[in-house]
Structure 1
């Protein structure tokens, strides 16, 4: 993810991710087994929703615009949920901050690998909203509904080590060793590929995440967003400056 103009799910990034998902889905004749999602900006995986964009839509009470944006977010991550309709293992490599929708994006993958210095969390409650693009769906399947709700309503930003202990991060890597951890995981899965593939199918059969489920939740998110008050929007505006503070010159 290149994060241009900001390291968040702005329309440009959403379009890129959707194009890539379509490409993988259509290239069925190619032997692609793994998809790894990472960031080109040091210290940042993804800051989540484009707060500046949907703050403007909220101010205009543009329900159709908000729903269109939310659907684009779901479409961008859902490919990983369904393995792009192929025998592909999706991996998130988190080497920096993954907040809000950034954490949702990472959790949408089959495997979440994070370096120890990475931080993740769902701060939406700070501006009186909730993460509506899959957080509850993914968390409840990993740690249970009660813990998922508590996690979301806390708004706490956690270290990767804390999330590993909770069972949210699957593989914990030392700082700077994330890529090696990805290749180590791939070698391990390939060694026991039949077992890993079967367990992936079992997980999908027992706890499937449907597009309809994600859409129904994001519709609740849209209705809740339209009820935000001026003080909530002011808090959101302060967080916009955080999304914009990393210079894109750091991107590689």
Structure 2
């Protein structure tokens, strides 16, 4: 059992269904799985800026048409934003250059097809929800909330080349009540992977279900085994994780929550984790 505190930190009007975030230099960069904007929230000035990621960007896109941006990761001076891959329209990656404000779009359909083949996943079961870059490779986190329930990490080359080698590592996550939790985000902190996972009572990557709670956990990158997990809520579907501050005794994270709603309001939570004994 890890000691932790969870508290509401910011209430942001103008963002709905927050699905990922990155903290950098007093700003939070936030994505929504309902829309096609990148949001920059300036913490000291409490100011929200919308950055269109595609032409004719929208706040709330119909479910069948949305890009379903679920993962955001910082590599160098670029933010990498990934679609979940759970439908054909969700197989894109957008990069946003923090220095030039330029965006680039990449089709990941061939890469996602190879991930499905490697992991023996059906088209309906692929659901990429987190991304980190280390050891010169991308690590994409598959959320196993589909019928086959496969949580795992797809490891691939830097160029997203479907011709390269892909490794898929299955990860068994704990249950909340009768439902196995499934990955919703992950970050790298000093060669350790910290992740979020949620128990959602559904066998579909498309349809939402009853939320039974969320956990935080840590994976050792040398062994790819779980060090610990800790349940942090009974009611929240946390989908975004970023490091805010770290000391010798504790770590502070910002978390965002997907309420599966079109209401343009988002609460950012702060999770403080006691690490003295880890």
User: Smaller-chain TM-score range?
Assistant: under 0.3
Higher RCO, 1 vs 2 (CA within 8 Å, ≥6 residues apart): 1
Normalised to the residue count of structure 2, the TM-score between the two structures is: 0.25
Normalised to the residue count of structure 1, the TM-score between the two structures is: 0.27
Higher helix share: 1
